[in-house]
Amino acid sequence: MTLEDLYRLLRSGHVQAQGVLDTLDVPLLVLDQGMCVVTANPAFLRAFKTSRDDTVGHALFELGNGQWDIPDLRQLLSSVIPRAAAIVDYEISHAFPDIGERTFLITARKLAHPDGNSQQILIVFTDITKRRIDSAAKDILLNESRHRMKNLLAVVRALAHQTRTEGETALQYRKSFLERLDCLAVTQELAMAEADGVDFETLVRQTLQSYTDRIALRPGANPPLANSQVQPLGMSLNELATNAVKYGALSVPDGSINLSWEVEHEGERQVLSVVWTEENGPEVDQPDHEGFGTGLINHSVTGALDGEVDIAYDKSGVNVRIRIPLDRNLE
Amino acid sequence: MTESPHDEKKLTLLVVEDDFLIGFDLKRTLQEAGHRVIGPARKVSEALEILKTQSPDAAILDVNLYGERVSPVARLLHVMGIPFVLTSADEDFIRGDDALSASENFGKPTDTKRLLASLHALGETGR
């Protein structure tokens, strides 16, 4: 049965109409010209936690201690009667004493009675409170992901901007940039994937996967990392490897790297101590200026990780010591 | 009157930014332009701590710092008479905040050219 059929039934005053109203799931009221309730269906009584006796025969605006005396609703109904217009999906939000803050779409329509004298109004209430809350939550989520996307673009821009151009061919630039971008993607994935955070060994294996045949891992205790530590630490490891390929032990066939780590206890504090030792590479000298790699490592470890880093350019190869506190969590 | 870059007033700038890569780029970009950089401070508390002992010529603020608003830093800068600009991806966040809504936002990704030009102008007026 369509609403149209229902209106026809109601207009004809057919006895079936009452039965139809009763079975409908949607809260409905029929009002007389004086805004007095003629009919309230069970769905209405349920939705507004009221009884038939308290509703039928009472003026709408006096129901439930005047909880329906809503200026918008008054305005709406007073405009329906004189103009004989149907009003469809008019949104009203109101705080009801018994059922709380609700948002309804109200459809009101004048019903012509067969006797031609009395005029009644049928009001249909559609509760869209949950729909509104859901859509607000979706808006927040959308806004959040838009914000994150912009942030990520800003990060990519920072990488592109900081990747060295002086003395590099476009091909070299692209290779360096893409390696960093790949590392960013891997660490981003790791930081987001695990709710309890990723452990250090997993981070090492993931960020150094293209170098594993040349880097000997000497694992110690395997601490979990805070999400905020994953990217700065992963990117730093990647820069160490990149520099080793360009200038250090991995730039020659015989060179190799030892990567060991341990968790040390300093009183209450736990410190992750990482040692990166390059061997059998070319003789290295302290560079005359800070490149992107060492700059990023210094910035990440002392800034984002609140740790310490020492990069020694020994004759036998680069030796890097990184110490970061584990018992902190910014998020 | 045009001036060569060497005549531009070099500024001491406080950078407040929670993302380490964006902070790294901003710091280096500002340094390359000849400015002195304090920070990046990554948290509100860190920035407030810095402002206890140092008084930069201007500040560049990210707005959302690990979910915390930068507003207390902005209010302190107001009191200290230090101008600041914003680099935030979230315009809605700024609009609803009295401490921030009057400030220029260079957005994210940040238009660093425009940011540097604005800082240059700041140096010319001598705050």
Instruction: Give CA–CA dist A244/A251, Å, rounded.
Output: 7
The letter for the amino acid at A92 is I
Judge whether A134 lies within some domain. Answer: no
Residues of A whose CB is below 8 A from B92: 143
Residues of B whose CB is below 8 A from A230: none
Give me the residue from B20, B26, B112 closest to A304, CB to CB. Answer: B20
Note whether A164 contacts B: Cβ–Cβ < 8 A: no
Q: Is the pLDDT of residue B59 over 70?
A: yes
How high is the pLDDT of residue A202?
93
How high is the pLDDT of residue B91?
81
Average pLDDT of chain B?
86
How much is the average pLDDT of A38-53?
89
Do B21 and A159 lie within an 8 Å CB cutoff?
yes
Strand, helix or coil for residue A319 = strand
Residue showing tokens 């990520």: A152
CATH number, domain at A48? 3.30.450.20
Q: Which of A109, A127, A145 is at the close of a domain?
A: A127
Judge whether A39 lies within some domain. Answer: yes
Strand B58-61 versus strand B84-86 pairing type: parallel
More confident residue, A14 or A228: A228
Give me the residue from A146, A158, A235 closest to B25, CB to CB. Answer: A158
- Provide the 10 A C-beta neighbour count for residue B33: 17
How high is the pLDDT of residue B85?
93
Average pLDDT of chain A?
86
The pair of three-digit structure tokens given for residue A97, joined into one six-digit string: 């004493």
Strand, helix or coil for residue A277 = strand
Do B19 and A299 lie within an 8 Å CB cutoff?
no
Give me the residue from A161, A184, A300 closest to B25, CB to CB. Answer: A161
Judge whether A43 lies within some domain. Answer: yes
How high is the pLDDT of residue A143?
83
Judge whether A100 lies within some domain. Answer: yes
The answer on A213 and A120 residing in a single domain is no
Quick one: pLDDT band at residue A279, thresholds 50, 70, 90?
very high
Q: Identify the CA nearest to A236 among candidates A320, A122, A150.
A: A320
CATH number, domain at A209? 3.30.565.10
Quick one: pLDDT band at residue B35, thresholds 50, 70, 90?
very high
Strand B12-16 versus strand B58-61 pairing type: parallel
How high is the pLDDT of residue A296?
92
- Provide the 10 A C-beta neighbour count for residue A273: 16
How high is the pLDDT of residue A19?
76
How high is the pLDDT of residue B84?
93
Which pLDDT tens digit goes with each residue over B72-121?
A: 999 999 999 999 999 998 887 788 888 888 888 898 888 888 898 888 78
Note whether B107 contacts A: Cβ–Cβ < 8 A: yes
The answer on A316 and A216 residing in a single domain is yes
Phi and psi (nearest 5°) for A173?
A: -60, -45
More confident residue, B4 or A130: A130
Best-predicted range by mean pLDDT (A17-21, A118-122, A288-292, B29-33): B29-33
Note whether A73 contacts B: Cβ–Cβ < 8 A: no
Which pLDDT tens digit goes with each residue over A27-36?
A: 999 888 888 9
How high is the pLDDT of residue B89?
86
Contact in structure between A234 and A206 (CB atoms under 8 Å): yes
The pair of three-digit structure tokens given for residue A278, joined into one six-digit string: 């390059």
Judge whether A7 lies within some domain. Answer: yes
The answer on A122 and A8 residing in a single domain is yes
Q: How many domains does chain A have?
A: 2
How high is the pLDDT of residue B125?
63
Which pLDDT tens digit goes with each residue over A65-88?
A: 788 888 888 887 887 666 766 778
Note whether A154 contacts B: Cβ–Cβ < 8 A: yes
Instruction: Give CA–CA dist A264/A271, Å, rounded.
Output: 5
Q: Is the pLDDT of residue A330 over 60?
A: no
Q: Is the pLDDT of residue A179 over 70?
A: yes
How high is the pLDDT of residue A111?
78
More confident residue, B15 or B3: B15
Judge whether A176 lies within some domain. Answer: no
Please, what are the domains in chain B?
8-125 (3.40.50.2300)
Judge whether A296 lies within some domain. Answer: yes
Quick one: pLDDT band at residue A280, thresholds 50, 70, 90?
very high
How high is the pLDDT of residue B2?
43
Q: Which of A127, A155, A175 is at the close of a domain?
A: A127
The answer on A217 and A113 residing in a single domain is no
- Provide the 10 A C-beta neighbour count for residue A276: 24
- Domain of A224, in residue numbers: 194-325
Judge whether A160 lies within some domain. Answer: no
Note whether B79 contacts A: Cβ–Cβ < 8 A: no
Q: Which of A108, A127, A146 is at the close of a domain?
A: A127
Note whether B122 contacts A: Cβ–Cβ < 8 A: no
Half-sphere CA count of A253, side-chain side, radius 13 A: 0
Q: Is the pLDDT of residue B6 over 60?
A: no
The answer on A216 and A298 residing in a single domain is yes
